[in-house]
Structures are given as C-alpha cells and as structure tokens.
Amino acid sequence: MTFTHVILYRAMNLGHRGSPVREALERALLDGGARAVRSFQTNGTVLLDVDGAGDEAAGAVARAASPLLAAGCGYAGEALVRALDGVAAAIDGDPFAQTRDERTYRETLTFVDGGEPLSVALPWTDSRDLLDLVVARAGVVLGVTRGGPGRGGDPNSAVERFTGGVATTRTLGTVRRLLAAAAKD
C-alpha cells in the first residue's frame, strides 16, 4: 500500500476524553472512504491512502469522518490534510540550521489552514526568547522552541495569532518518523 497523505488533527490525544481511541479513529476514516489508514503515534497524526486524485479526495475523507468522530467520542477538532510529498518538501535541506543552538528544545512544523499570510518578518523571535519562527512555506511554518517541557515557546498559538488560521504543530522528529513509516509501507 502507498500512503499519499497525512491528516493532522488539532488537539487530539488518542484515548483521552473527547478524543477517539486508535481503532475508532481508523474506522471513522475507513468509513469516510479511505482505502487504507494508519494512525501514527497518539497525537492525531494519520497516514492516509485514498481512491481518487489528490488533495481533494483526501480532504473529502477527513470531512466524511468528522461527524463519525463527533458522534463516537465528541471530538470536534480540526483536521488539516497534507500530501506527504509537500510535508517532505517542507524539511528539505536544513531549514533550522541558522537558529539551532545549545538552547534548542524542539524544532517544529506548525501546519496552518485558513487565515492570512504570516504577518511578521522571518526569522521572528518572541519577547521571552523561547520561540523562533524560522521559515514559512505553503501551509506550514517552521520554528525552534527553547525552555523545555511546559516552559517553552508555543509555535501553535503564535502562528494562529499571526494568521488567524487554524494550526497544529508536530516536532521535526515526529515528521521524520512519519515520513520513514510511510516509505516502509
């Protein structure tokens, strides 16, 4: 099987209140028209294979699964759909090289739908020096956080504030593991 897309759910944590368990998430997507799905980790990241052409078919599956997830567990969050090729292109080269240093906690990709283009010049650093937004590419903003767990910068809220769109963030490590898993299947 060949996975072509990923669905990145916002504020989903599998098995927690208001979020589905893995089996229910995968079943909702299959019932929504996916040919194959594979939930990846517990953060609402799902590999997807669809019948039909491209992004529209993948988006239709996510939209069809939405009421099933709401009815099954009360999940009403957003689903951001991306082609895997586009996700891979977002990390081509080493886009974090200019801001990575010994204080780096995480390198992040914040996927955003809707709203306006990013309203700050890049690179941008927050006033607490805990977040750098480094590069904006189509539908994704790359960032570097500092400060450690629970104390670091918040790329998700910064990108939503600057764009007015809906965003969800994954670490560079998660994205690399996702792409490797998709390549194996």
pLDDT tens, position by position, 128-162: 999 999 999 989 999 999 988 888 889 999 999 99
Q: Which residue has the tokens 């189509």?
A: 138
* pLDDT confidence bin for 100, thresholds 50/70/90: confident
Per-residue pLDDT averaged across 69-77, rounded?
96
Cα separation of 16 and 19, whole Å?
5
Q: What is the pLDDT of residues 46-61, one digit of tens each?
A: 999 998 768 899 999 9
Per-residue pLDDT averaged across 72-82, rounded?
96
CATH of domain 5-84: 3.30.70
Q: What is the pLDDT of residues 103-114, one digit of tens each?
A: 999 999 999 999
Helix ranges, 22-138 (H): 22-31, 54-73, 84-90
Cα separation of 2 and 154, whole Å?
33
Residue 112: predicted pLDDT: 98
